[in-house]
Structure 1
Amino acid sequence: MASTKLVPFESTAVESIPSIVHQCQTTFRSQKTKPLSYRLVQLRKLYWGIVNNEDALVEACKQDLGKPTFETFLTEIDWCKNDVVFVTKNLAKWMKDEPAPDIPLTNSMLRPRIKKDPLGTVLVIGAYNFPVQLSFGPLIGAIAAGCTAVLKPSEVSPATAMVLKKIVEESLDPSAYAVVNGGVPETTALLEEKWDKIFYTGGVVVGKIIAKKAAETLTPVCLELGGLNPAIISKNADPHLAARRLLWGKLVNAGQVCISQNYIMVDKEILPAFVEQLKITLKEFYPNGTKASPDYGRIVNQRHFQRIKKMLDDSKGKILIGGEVDEAENFIDLTVVQVDDINDSMIVNESFGPLIPILPVNDVEEAIRIANTVHSTPLGLYAFGTKAETNKMLNEITSGGASVNDAYFHGSIPTLAFGGVGESGQGAYRGRASFDTFTHRRSVTTTPGWVEKLIAIRYPPYAGKLARYRLTSELKPNFDREGREIRGIKYWLRFLLGMGSDSLKEALVRWAIAAFVVVGLKKSADAGKLPSYLK
């Protein structure tokens, strides 16, 4: 493996950014990135680039976030390596043209199909909390789709950003893929360029800025944002399991996870048991406390440390567990606070840290009302209770994703599409969805010469052609004027009799079709396979 000596952070010269982007655009227009063979080679080289720099990535994540080695492999390195392997095994299948679905018989002779075209040159803006996964994950999708790309890692995780730059420059085609490092000036310069898509992971405030800037040039965006994600524990839930699973959801990466629960609503009847299980579980996970454990991370920098600490200081709630902070280490202990007001600082702000506010509720209905008041479209929803209760929560609360009886398990499956809705984002990626998000599904038809007589009805003059056109194209409804569905034999009689004053020729066609259908139905009935809607 490569040396773990890390290179100091260095921003890309702003004046060089237009030429970097132009080079990627030129390469895309050359058609170089479109063949399957090219895409596979680039993905495979990226895989080995990650392998060769595993030690450096572990050290960088530790330096940036205090991230435990186990979590770096689990959520960063192995995640991306497995993603590459999964994509390379399935890419040939994904790239194939698809027959267009639900095409009427009269149009099938034109061979309607969906062609998968790469969008072009794309910008990927990563996030600091999972600096490898949230940068390389979208990049893998862009490469798979046949796009060229510029990656902008988060400057808030500077050590990791420099390792990512090294991996890309040493592993990938430099004419097609580049890394731009820096902060606001460099990001601003990148947004001044014309892109074919912008993929951003981060907060809502910056997401709105990017969406607004992209709108000026009608550039599509994929926004992976955060959200005030609720967890709801009904009185019928298992407090032991709920405590273990939700505690784990806040311990990973010291709570710096966009889909972890931001607050937990607990039925008052089960609240004491749940809090007790939290204490038991925390002692089990960290026998000597979180601060002394190598398995507990740190807040990424002092600015975010102060932001989280202020939320805790401003809260009117009661601290039940934890509360220790150490500015010198950017350490904030896992802290459980009971609050009684939905306007408490612990509820209305996204902590993006190891804080667990608990809001007691009377029942599931009250919890649902509060969830829809605090944030109507969170990134995640975590429902604990009976099947009927959790189904009610899923049905009445909109969210980007959801895990029933667990903490963000849906977000930990690398091949399951992941994305937000409303204020928590738009678009999705991971697995097949990563390929799709950078791909244009182009509808294509091919009209052979021999069908000219069949399609001549479309040409002027139109006199006498309308009835013939409607005979072959008009769909008869299976509902009446009151909006009621017409089922079974009534539908076929309606079709048979027609909807208006058909010509004799048209009536004969209807009779012929009806006879064909009736014969088919009789055979099905004789075989005991009569369709359910006719029984």
Structure 2
Amino acid sequence: MVTSEIPPLQFTPTEEIQERISTLRKTFFEHKTRDVEFRLVQLRKLYWAVKDRSQLIANALAKDLNRPEFETVVAESGWLENDIVFVTRNLHKWAKDEKAEDIDLTWKFMNPKIRKDPLGCVLVIGAFNYPFQLTLGPVIGAIAAGNTVVIKPSENAPASAVVIQQICEAALDPSCYTVIQGGVSESQALLAERWDKIFFTGGASVGRIVAKAAAPHLTPVVLELGGINPAIITKNANPRLVARRLLWSKLMNAGQICTSQNYLLVDREILPLVIQEFKNAYNEFYPQGAKASPDYSRIINENAFHRLKAMIDNSKGKILMGGTMDEKELFIEPTIVQVDSTDDSMIVQESFGPLIPILPVDNIDEAIRTANAVMSTPLGIYPFGNKADVEKILSSTRSGGAAVNDSALHIPTLPFGGVGESGNGAYRGRASFEAFIHRRPITTSPSWLEAILSIRYPPYAGKTKTFKAASTLLPDFDRDGQKVTLGWLRYIFTLGGGSAKAGASRAAIVAADPDTDRKE
């Protein structure tokens, strides 16, 4: 029976951590998690554990973040349920051996294939802002891939961390999967262990600590970090669309979401219209104000509140909307500030809150230069404008992802990940499975191939020319890097540049490089 009560968070004794990891590693080498059907049973049980506790999840998020239940269904419980169903429907297909593609005819006789091997015992460290999605999302991929998993929820969302543990203990085999609760000490104990992969979601500063801890063991790491994400609004943008979509993304979870825009670069020509539409949208979304609305979250804790307050207090910009705060309630009103420099306190760091700095620009070229000059490579970029504007922005910038005429939008089954300062690696959908496997190439050399393969054995005298004739690929380009047109005879006899060599192919290359024969 599922109880509605959420007990206090209890940290895991540090002396238990190493023993639990040893158990999971032992289980992995017993090959218990390699069976695809076993993985599917675990995922199906996880689905029902989430489903049965959907109200408990909503209660925990209301307690930790004052999260509206609608946002919980959209981005937490409902998201996880759909993700599990999607993975279970496709896992057999993903886990099957693949025939190797793009290989020469010579190697096809060795039946090359790619096997999807689990990595081993992996660590998943979750985040506080979307504690269920960002903790259990990677876990779904790790289970699907056949790993044993240590799960570390964020202690900054304590009620959610407790419910995550309840879900995992109700659904998952404890010899394969375990939850470790704790803060800095427990995290340090975890990072001191040897892992087959670490998946971390959080800020860049802690991401560096995780990467540094992984380095001595050469442990591969997926880092899902934040980013100082720009929204570029050209003069051809629709101001009402801009305001509604950007305000929505910045106010969801009170702006505590890594994919929302961190600042706006707005063409001066439409700046007054954009500002007015923000005010209109705010009044439409929250007729009685955000503080009185049941649809507006709160900041996670006092430290985060004071950091956001300092960003506003230290800004040299002008507040155009909002700005009120209530520390007791951890409330910060949606706040628009017009700034005049990327050095302003509102832009130099990721706000992770309901702050919307606007920096006016003269044209799209200035906007692109400004976006590229900001130190951090963003997790997302959000261009608003006509088709030509958008294409120019996308082809002239870098980011983990992009949403055209929108913000924070990501289709759940597409790969999601950052680049540079915003992280490395990707997950979601099939990419979650791929993040936790090793693509292992396997060849099988039949005995009848020995007559051909014997050329590789010593003594080598007199074999070089034969080996070259059988294996060398002829270039279809000349010394100036220009493509050489293939004659139809050459294409047939060399399979378009393959290993078989015919007189027609040699004639084509000699024509492009007369020294060919002398070189050999």
TM-score band by shorter chain is over 0.9
Q: Which runs of structure 2 are paired with 1:28-67 in the superposition (5 Å)?
A: 28-67=28-67
Shift of 1:288: 0.8
Shift of 1:491: 9.5
Amino acid at match of 1:510: A
Are 1:68 and 1:294, in contact at CA under 8 Å, matched by a contact in 2? yes
Give the secondary structure class of the aligned counterpart of 1:223: strand
Shift of 1:511: 3.9
User: For the residues of structure 2 that align with 1:273 and 1:228, how far apart are their CA atoms?
Assistant: 24
User: What is the CA deviation profile of residues 250-275 of structure 1, one whole-angstrom value per residue up to 9, with x for unaligned ones?
Assistant: 01100000111000000000100001
Are 1:3 and 1:55, in contact at CA under 8 Å, matched by a contact in 2? no
Count how many residue pairs are aligned between Structure 1 and Structure 2: 504
User: What is the CA deviation profile of residues 438-492 of structure 1, one whole-angstrom value per residue up to 9, with x for unaligned ones?
Assistant: 0000010001111100111111111111111111111111111111111243994
Match of 2:153 in 1: 153
Match of 1:106 in 2: 106
User: For the residues of structure 2 that align with 1:4 and 1:343, how far apart are their CA atoms?
Assistant: 48
Shift of 1:341: 1.2
Are 2:376 and 2:422, in contact at CA under 8 Å, matched by a contact in 1? no
Shift of 1:169: 1.0
User: What is the CA deviation profile of residues 396-432 of structure 1, one whole-angstrom value per residue up to 9, with x for unaligned ones?
Assistant: 11100011110121x2x11010000011000000000
Match of 2:369 in 1: 369
Amino acid at match of 1:308: L
Q: Which runs of structure 2 are paired with 1:454-473 in the superposition (5 Å)?
A: 454-473=452-471
User: For the residues of structure 2 that align with 1:225 and 1:491, how far apart are their CA atoms?
Assistant: 54
Are 2:134 and 2:201, in contact at CA under 8 Å, matched by a contact in 1? yes
Match of 1:416 in 2: 414
Give the secondary structure class of the aligned counterpart of 1:124: strand
Match of 1:390 in 2: 390
User: For the residues of structure 2 that align with 1:286 and 1:21, how far apart are their CA atoms?
Assistant: 48
Q: Which runs of structure 2 are paired with 1:75-474 in the superposition (5 Å)?
A: 75-409=75-409, 411=410, 413-474=411-472
User: For the residues of structure 2 that align with 1:47 and 1:380, how far apart are their CA atoms?
Assistant: 30
User: For the residues of structure 2 that align with 1:233 and 1:214, how far apart are their CA atoms?
Assistant: 40
Match of 1:521 in 2: none
User: For the residues of structure 1 that align with 2:162 and 2:457, how far apart are their CA atoms?
Assistant: 63
Match of 1:510 in 2: 502
Shift of 1:495: 8.8
Match of 2:474 in 1: 476
Are 1:11 and 1:180, in contact at CA under 8 Å, matched by a contact in 2? yes
Are 2:493 and 2:505, in contact at CA under 8 Å, matched by a contact in 1? no
User: What is the CA deviation profile of residues 104-151 of structure 1, one whole-angstrom value per residue up to 9, with x for unaligned ones?
Assistant: 101100001100000000000000000000000000000000000000
Shift of 1:3: 2.3
User: For the residues of structure 2 that align with 1:88 and 1:141, how far apart are their CA atoms?
Assistant: 10
User: For the residues of structure 1 that align with 2:260 and 2:111, how far apart are their CA atoms?
Assistant: 47
User: For the residues of structure 1 that align with 2:493 and 2:102, how far apart are their CA atoms?
Assistant: 20
Are 2:125 and 2:153, in contact at CA under 8 Å, matched by a contact in 1? yes
Farther-moved stretch of structure 1 (481-490 vs 121-130): 481-490
Residue 493 to residue 134, structure 1, CA distance change in 2 (3 Å): closer
Give the secondary structure class of the aligned counterpart of 2:109: helix
User: For the residues of structure 1 that align with 2:84 and 2:200, how far apart are their CA atoms?
Assistant: 20
Amino acid at match of 1:131: P
User: For the residues of structure 2 that align with 1:266 and 1:447, how far apart are their CA atoms?
Assistant: 62
Are 1:227 and 1:350, in contact at CA under 8 Å, matched by a contact in 2? yes
TM-score (norm 2): 0.94
Are 2:149 and 2:176, in contact at CA under 8 Å, matched by a contact in 1? yes
Shift of 1:437: 0.2
Are 2:490 and 2:502, in contact at CA under 8 Å, matched by a contact in 1? no
Are 1:117 and 1:440, in contact at CA under 8 Å, matched by a contact in 2? yes
Give the secondary structure class of the aligned counterpart of 1:115: strand
Give the secondary structure class of the aligned counterpart of 2:403: strand
Give the secondary structure class of the aligned counterpart of 1:178: strand
Match of 2:514 in 1: none
User: For the residues of structure 2 that align with 1:298 and 1:513, how far apart are their CA atoms?
Assistant: 71
Are 1:2 and 1:55, in contact at CA under 8 Å, matched by a contact in 2? no
Superposed CA RMSD in Å reads 1.9
Give the secondary structure class of the aligned counterpart of 2:222: strand
User: For the residues of structure 2 that align with 1:170 and 1:134, how far apart are their CA atoms?
Assistant: 19
- Unmatched segments (≥5 aa) in structure 1: 500-505, 516-535
Are 1:376 and 1:398, in contact at CA under 8 Å, matched by a contact in 2? no
User: What is the CA deviation profile of residues 351-397 of structure 1, one whole-angstrom value per residue up to 9, with x for unaligned ones?
Assistant: 00000000000011111111111135110000011111111111111
Amino acid at match of 2:454: A
Give aligned-pair identity as a percent: 57
Are 2:228 and 2:376, in contact at CA under 8 Å, matched by a contact in 1? no
User: What is the CA deviation profile of residues 216-254 of structure 1, one whole-angstrom value per residue up to 9, with x for unaligned ones?
Assistant: 100000000011000000001111111111111101100
Give the secondary structure class of the aligned counterpart of 1:33: helix
- Unmatched segments (≥5 aa) in structure 2: 508-520
Are 1:476 and 1:495, in contact at CA under 8 Å, matched by a contact in 2? no
Shift of 1:170: 1.5
User: For the residues of structure 2 that align with 1:21 and 1:494, how far apart are their CA atoms?
Assistant: 58
Give the secondary structure class of the aligned counterpart of 2:167: helix
User: What is the CA deviation profile of residues 6-32 of structure 1, one whole-angstrom value per residue up to 9, with x for unaligned ones?
Assistant: 110110001100001111101101000
Match of 2:511 in 1: none
Give the secondary structure class of the aligned counterpart of 1:420: coil
Match of 1:69 in 2: 69
User: For the residues of structure 2 that align with 1:176 and 1:331, how far apart are their CA atoms?
Assistant: 41
Give the secondary structure class of the aligned counterpart of 1:79: helix
